[in-house]
């Protein structure tokens, strides 16, 4: 290539450009948007895209403040929204009032998302915003059993990322291109996702999980062990720790790590030898005796 010559875009970049163009077109159709903003990579990218296309005055970020949201995530969401200059609201949601949510069967996410949209839709009306949007992407649409997506669709929530056929990988690539700090943010599902199906969700269990994860991260940092993904799963009175695979041996031979999790309120502690993986709680549906 001659010096100064423009580099031809790769096919991947061309595909991403096409998807971003489709997203911009879709956002213009929607006119104004209240984004259900969890603080994760998808909803953060959607929020940034909406601000770019619709300008901040026509966009609102809404982070549901509930027992299932870690306090650290709420703080990060506030910081991100402020960096975009967009209005950020934190309405309270009360999933615990829904029996289906507390029962914690495989469709728990349906009741969580139903509560969220039922709270956000009247709020959007009050603020003069036309639509409520979630960060559902194209991969989510084909990921199998997703009751939360169904609940949101039934309540009229729009899904601009999905409509534009943006995948998770493309969301991260575009976020990196735009300099968003969330481009490589690990998945951060709600605290309820740590509780094994069939065990009732309660404020006590949620706070116990949050305390355990916070304490364990602090212990690992003090031991000089860097981890990207970490979960403390509640499988009854026993905690099951999942971390990045290369950190598993450290936890296996470190009683101190187990002690800080016990101090959070668990009777027994085990380390999953397979390490962290999203959706691991689904494995227990086939072996319910593990958490009885």
Could you read off the pLDDT of 198-216 as tens digits, one per residue?
999 999 999 999 999 999 9
Residue 27 lies in a domain: yes
Span 220-239, average pLDDT = 94
Q: Domain check: are 39 and 149 in the same one?
A: yes
For 14-59, write each residue's pLDDT tens digit: 799 999 999 999 999 999 999 999 999 999 999 999 999 999 999 9
Structural domain includes residue 1: no
Per-residue pLDDT band at 278 (split at 50, 70, 90): low
Domain presence at residue 135: yes
Average per-residue pLDDT for the chain: 90
Q: Which of 177, 203, 237 is the last residue of a domain?
A: 177
Identify whether residues 146 and 257 lie together within a single domain: no
pLDDT at 145 over 70: no
> Residue 186 domain-assigned?
no
Domain around 161? 11-177
Shared domain check, 218 and 173: no
Separation of alpha carbons 234 and 190, rounded Å: 13
Q: What are the tens digits of pLDDT across the range 123-137?
A: 999 999 999 999 999
Q: Which CATH number characterizes residue 67's domain?
A: 3.40.50.620
DSSP state of 192: G
In a domain, 3, yes or no: no
User: In this structure, is residue 47 part of a structural domain?
Assistant: yes
Domain total of the chain: 2
Is residue 2 a part of any domain in this protein?
no
Task: Indicate the residue among 143, 177, 211 that finishes a domain.
Answer: 177
- Residue 213 and residue 78 in one domain: no
Assess whether 18 and 124 both reside in one domain.
Answer: yes
Q: Has residue 198 been placed in a domain?
A: yes
Q: Kindly state whether residues 154 and 57 are assigned to the same domain.
A: yes
pLDDT at 290 over 80: no
């Amino acid at each position: 290539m001659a010096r100064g010559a423009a580099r031809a875009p790769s096919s991947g970049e061309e595909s991403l450009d096409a998807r971003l163009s489709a997203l911009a077109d879709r956002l213009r159709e929607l006119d104004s948007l209240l984004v259900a903003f969890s603080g994760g990579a998808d909803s953060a990218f959607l929020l940034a895209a909406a601000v770019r296309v619709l300008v901040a005055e026509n966009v609102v970020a809404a982070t549901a403040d509930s027992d299932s949201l870690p306090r650290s995530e709420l703080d990060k969401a506030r910081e991100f929204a402020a960096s975009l200059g967009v209005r950020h609201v934190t309405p309270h949601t009360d999933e615990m009032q829904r029996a289906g949510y507390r029962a914690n069967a495989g469709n728990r996410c349906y009741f969580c998302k139903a509560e969220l949209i039922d709270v956000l839709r009247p709020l959007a009306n009050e603020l003069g915003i036309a639509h409520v949007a979630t960060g559902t992407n194209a991969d989510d649409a084909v990921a199998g059993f997703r009751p939360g997506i169904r609940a949101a669709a039934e309540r009229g929530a729009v899904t601009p990322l999905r409509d534009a056929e943006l995948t998770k990988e493309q969301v991260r690539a575009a976020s990196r291109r735009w300099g968003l700090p969330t481009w490589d943010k690990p998945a951060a599902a709600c605290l309820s996702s740590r509780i094994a199906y069939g065990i009732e969700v309660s404020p006590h269990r949620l706070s116990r999980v949050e305390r355990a994860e916070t304490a364990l991260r602090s212990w690992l940092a003090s031991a000089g062990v860097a981890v990207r993904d970490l979960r403390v799963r509640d499988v009854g009175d026993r905690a099951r720790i999942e971390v990045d695979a290369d950190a598993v041996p450290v936890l296996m031979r470190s009683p101190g790590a187990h002690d800080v999790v016990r101090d959070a309120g668990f009777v027994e502690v085990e380390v999953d030898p397979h390490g962290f993986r999203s959706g691991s709680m689904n494995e227990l549906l086939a072996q319910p005796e593990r958490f009885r």
